[in-house]
Amino acid sequence: MADPFILHPSFILFNHTMSDTTAPQKFEFQAEIKQLLDIVIHSLYTEKEIFVRELVSNASDALEKLRHTQLTEKEIFDDRLELEINLTTDDKARTLTIQDFGIGMTREELVENLGTIAHSGSKQFLKALGEGGAKNASLIGQFGVGFYSAFMVAKSVKVYAHSWRADAPGHVWSSDGSGSYAVEASDAQRRGCKIVVELKDDCSEFSQDWKIKEILERYSAFVSFPINLNGKRINTVQALWLRSKNEIKDEEYTEFYKFQSHAHDEPRLRLHFSADAPLAINALLFVPKDNTEKLGFSRLEASVSLYCRKVLIDAAPKDLLPEWLRFLKGVVDSEDLPLNISRETMQDRALIEKLNRVITKRFLKFLEEEAKNRPDAYNEFYAEYGIFLKEGAAMDFTHKEQLTKLLRFESSLTEKGKTTSLADYITRMGGEQKEIYYLVGPNRAAIESGPYLEGFKARTLEVLFCYESVDEYVMNNVREFDGKKLTAADHADVKLSDLPKAEGALSEDDTQKLITFLKETLGERVAEVKASDRLVDSPALALNADKFMSPHMRRMMKAMNKDGGDSPLRINLEINPRSAVMKRLFGLACAPTTTEATPAGNPEKARLVAGQILDNALISAGLLDDPNAMVARLYKLLESV
Ligand code: ADP
Ligand code: MG
């Protein structure tokens, strides 16, 4: 019998004049799909067997969708068919057939779903190839190019499909992957899809029962629908999250994570728990190894799936967890949910909110325990995911307290690379100290060598070091912890206790004179000049007198080209009467008119030095906008050396 799927050339020629949708019709693949197919077919990717996993996972998706449709639609085509996946091998014909009684596809859906690039996996794959991974076929395994992976092993693929809609006739889609495909009417499948893969000569092993069995056992153990191979049931493992913790092996958890999250890494942390009140919950949550947002991938989207008694309700419900937990993977199963839960009704929304609260609380408690019992693992987690906790601490008022407890920072008392919690910081506070101090800077060395830390060091006050650009925003939003205010150590309002007067400092009178001179000389460039209680070694420091715009924030606004980055500065200059530079400047500026006995006075030079001191302080604060005037002045000063 002639193969009905081979198109007669005359048909292709006259195709455009035909409107009869029962006759075969030929289509070109979309350009991106052609590109994808070309790579898939010609890659030497060794793990060709993943195509089985991809096709089975599509079948499982289709069954899941059918189950949902059954909840809302009365008329389902062939409603009594079992929700199961059947595979058959034929080693004589060298074919593998994968069949499901799922949602199926209409003619339009066949064209749309299998002819154009709509789904995320393939898109990301192509993007990654474009971004320098060019021709790196091993990426196929990482992204899972879905349906098209069949063409790694297939001479031809035929998809017999019948939609769940009773009035939509059946069709078969067929292609050899070389640029075009055909669709024509066919009743060979009842409801759902049957995919017949005709294997290439060197891939005939995939028509062997034992081979497919091995593959299914490896990849598809967690599919929640029965899978039969040549009539024999393969998967017996059931919803892992409902089993008791102590009978589950680590490897089982990991396999489940990989299956459920389409992941290829080992999870970094996992939490498996159940609760009875206020809701019956079984949850299995994973933190993936890497924070992909940090690696520069796109923003993560909520992906913990919601089940009710093992039935998937929503694979990626948006409101199940707070935004800042978007890095979590896994499953939440609650018996208390209606299967057709809707985000629109108040009652259902309230249920989801309740779930959200319970799970978030439990996860935060889990992190607290981790931090206590396995600090090294926690710190590694924090290095990767701390940014999410900061986001939460700053934005999620309900969980702020718990989240702030979980934050970690280096400080002036920790070693480089070691961190402290705010709670531990408080245990080290002296009786006098009322506030928690922090400094924002690009790294430890920059903060330690700047002028701001000295005064705190001299009084053995601990200062937290914040290196991330969000830190300032976070600290401003968190505001306080355990009744202690979080205060920027470079803020103009910080008051420090008196230190014993150092030997050889300028007298108070002379300091006052010098201050008057500086005010006159620097004019509008400074809002205030005063003797500093925070300087020990450095001659001067600049404080931004603008309450609402810290130096760091101003730098950020400037970098982002936002309003505010260019607002005129209001600077308080603090000077150090102990510093040799200040004493020398006093001599230049305030000594009585030059006589032979006191040759020091040189008002012209004093003005240059004053300007330079201010600019130096601004540089340390990251606030010097235009270095040109400074450089010119410095040359002038150097002339007189
Ligand atoms: P993905 O599964 O990531 O969406 P695939 O390439 O695996 O991408 O599949 C493409 C699309 O084809 C699916 O989104 C689905 O709409 C459709 N599809 C594939 N297999 C089936 C099937 N067995 N039943 C119904 N639709 C299917
Ligand atoms: Mg798929």
137 Cα: distance to centroid of ligand 2 (angstroms): 18
Task: Please give the backbone phi and psi of residue 232, each rounded to the nearest 5 degrees, phi first.
Answer: -105, 135
Confidence of residue 177 (pLDDT cuts 50, 70, 90): very high
Per-residue pLDDT of 504-550, as tens digits, reads: 889 999 999 999 999 999 999 999 999 987 888 899 999 877 766 77
What would the CATH number be for the domain defined by 508-639?
Answer: 1.20.120.790
Write out the DSSP string of 356-402. HHHHHHHHHHHHHHHHHH-HHHHHHHHHHHHHHHHHHHHH-GGGHHH
With a 6 Å cutoff on the Cβ, whether 412 touches ligand 1 is no
Place of tokens 């935004």: 323
Question: What is the 155 CA–ligand 1 centroid distance (Å)?
Answer: 20
Segment among 193-197, 285-289, 532-536, 578-582 with least mean pLDDT: 532-536
Q: Between residues 347 and 412, which one has the greater pLDDT? A: 412
* Virtual torsion, Cα 445, 446, 452, 457, nearest 10 deg: 0
Q: How far separated are the first and last CA of the chain, in Å rounded? A: 103
User: Quick check: 22 and 185 in contact, CB under 8 A?
Assistant: yes
Please determine, for residue 38, whether its predicted confidence score (pLDDT) is greater than 70: yes
CA–CA separation, 486 and 464 (whole Å): 10
Which residue in 538, 529, 556 sits closest to 616, CA to CA? 538
Q: 3-class DSSP state for residue 136? A: coil
Query: How far away, in angstroms, is 467 Cα from ligand 2 center?
Result: 41
The mean pLDDT of 8-37, rounded to a whole number, is 66
User: How far is residue 641's CA from residue 629's CA, in Å, rounded to a whole number?
Assistant: 19
Task: Tell me the CATH number for domain 240-377.
Answer: 3.30.230.80
- Segment 129-152 mean pLDDT: 68
* pLDDT at residue 597 is higher than 50: no
Q: Band the pLDDT of 343: cuts 50, 70, 90.
A: low
Return the pLDDT at 162: 96
Residue percentage of the chain with pLDDT more than 90: 55
User: Worst-scoring range by mean pLDDT, 17-26, 111-120, 573-582, 629-638?
Assistant: 17-26
Nearest to 508 by CA among 537, 531, 526: 531
- Ligand 1 centre to CA of 195 (Å) is 11
Please indicate whether the domains covering 240-377 and 409-497 agree at the CATH topology level: no
Distance, CA 54 to ligand 2 centroid (Å)?
5
pLDDT tens digits, 456-512: 998 999 999 999 989 999 999 999 999 999 999 988 788 888 777 777 889 999 999
Cα–Cα–Cα angle for 228, 231, 234, rounded to 5 degrees: 35
Question: Hunting for tokens 């040109």 — which residue is that?
Answer: 628
Kind of pairing between the strands at 540-544 and 227-229: unpaired
Best residue for ligand 1 mutational test, from 113, 140, 194, 223 (most atoms within 8 Å of Cβ): 113
**Atom 15 in ligand 1: residue holding the nearest Cα:** 113
Hey, what are 25's tokens? 């019709």
Neighbours of 620 (CB within 10 A): 20
User: Cβ of 534: how many Cβ atoms within 10 Å?
Assistant: 25
State the sign of the Cα–Cα–Cα–Cα dihedral 28, 34, 37, 43: positive
Tell me if 56 sits within 8 A of 218, measured CB to CB. no
Question: Cβ(113) to ligand 1 under 6 A?
Answer: yes
Tell me if 63 CB under 6 Å of ligand 1: no
Give the burial string for 401-418 (b: 16+ CB within 10 Å, else e): ebbbbbbbbbbbbbeeee
> Residue 118: nearest ligand to its CA?
1
**Is residue 193 lining ligand 1, measured as CB closer than 6 Å?**
yes
Q: Using alpha carbons only, what angle is made at residue 67 by residues 237 and 348, rounded to the nearest 5 degrees?
A: 100
CA gap 39, 32 in Å, rounded: 11
Residue pair 55/98 in contact by the 8 Å Cβ criterion: yes
**pLDDT band for position 146 (cuts 50, 70, 90):** confident
Instruction: Report the pLDDT value the prediction gives residue 19, as an integer from 0 to 100.
Output: 43
The pLDDT of residue 294 = 86
Nearest CA to ligand 1 atom 13: 113
Mean pLDDT (the chain, rounded): 86
Q: Name which CATH class applies to 9-233.
A: alpha beta
Please count the residues of the chain. Answer: 641
In this structure, which residue's CA is closest to atom 21 in ligand 1?
A: 58
Residue 268 DSSP code: S
Q: Is the C-beta atom of 36 inside 6 A of ligand 1?
A: no
The rounded Å distance from CA 58 to ligand 1 centre is: 5
**Per the omega criterion (within 30 degrees of 0), is the bond before 568 cis?**
no
Q: pLDDT tens-digit profile of 200-244?
A: 999 999 999 999 999 988 777 778 899 999 999 988 756 899 999
Q: What is the mean pLDDT of residues 545-567?
A: 70
Higher local confidence (pLDDT), 597 or 51 = 51
From the list 399, 391, 323, 319, the residue with the least C-alpha distance to 354 is: 319
Is residue 66 lining ligand 1, measured as CB closer than 6 Å?
Answer: no
How many A from CA of 147 to the centre of ligand 1? 6
Contact between 558 and 531 under an 8 Å Cβ cutoff? The reply is no
Q: Which helix (H) or strand (E) holds 506?
A: none
- Residue whose C-alpha is closest to residue 548's, from 570, 528, 532: 570
Nearest residue (CA) to ligand 1, atom 10: 113
pLDDT tens digits along 63-121: 989 988 988 888 888 888 889 999 999 999 999 999 999 999 999 999 999 988 766 56
- Domains of the chain, residue spans: 9-233, 240-377, 409-497, 508-639
User: Greater confidence, 277 or 466?
Assistant: 466
Question: Greater confidence, 438 or 554?
Answer: 438
pLDDT at position 25: 93
Q: Is the CB of 102 under 6 A from ligand 1?
A: yes
- Pocket flag, ligand 1, residue 54 (CB < 6 Å): yes
Sign (positive/negative) of CA torsion 165, 166, 167, 173? positive
Of ligand 1's atoms, which has the minimum distance to the CA of residue 54?
Answer: 7
Q: Which atom of ligand 1 is nearest to the CA of 146?
A: 7
What dotted CATH number matches 409-497? 3.40.50.11260
- CA 332 to ligand 1 centroid distance, Å: 24
Nearest residue to 351 (alpha-carbon basis) of 332, 328, 330, 373? 332
> Does residue 64 line the site of ligand 1, with CB under 6 A?
no
pLDDT band at 566 (very low <50, low <70, confident <90, very high): low
- Report the C-alpha gap between 69 and 308 in whole angstroms: 16
How does residue 134 score in pLDDT terms, banded at 50, 70 and 90?
very low
Residue 1's pLDDT band (boundaries 50, 70, 90)?
A: very low
pLDDT at 103: 95
Which pLDDT does position 81 carry in this prediction?
A: 86
Q: Report d(CA 636, CA 641) in Å as an integer.
A: 9
